[in-house]
Amino acid sequence: MNEQLNDPPNCIEIFKTNVGNQQLANKIVSDLKQLHPNYRINLDLEDCDRILRVEGRHAIDISGILNFGKCNGIEVSLIP
Please report the pLDDT score of residue 10 as a whole number. Answer: 87
Measured between alpha carbons, how far is 59 from 22 in angstroms, rounded to an integer?
A: 28
User: Using 50, 70 and 90 to split pLDDT, how confident is the model at 9?
Assistant: low
CATH class of segment(s) 3-78 = alpha beta
Please state the domain extents for the chain. 3-78
User: In this predicted structure, what is the pLDDT of residue 3?
Assistant: 44
Longest dimension (CA), the chain: 33
- Which pLDDT does position 7 carry in this prediction? 60
What does the pLDDT look like over 18-71, one tens digit per residue?
A: 999 999 999 999 999 999 999 999 999 999 999 999 999 989 999 999 999 999
Between CA 5 and CA 70 the distance in angstroms is: 27
- Grade residue 8 by pLDDT with cuts at 50, 70 and 90: low
Which comes out higher in pLDDT, residue 1 or 29?
29
Q: Which helix (H) or strand (E) holds 29?
A: helix 22-35
SS3 of residue 79 by DSSP: coil
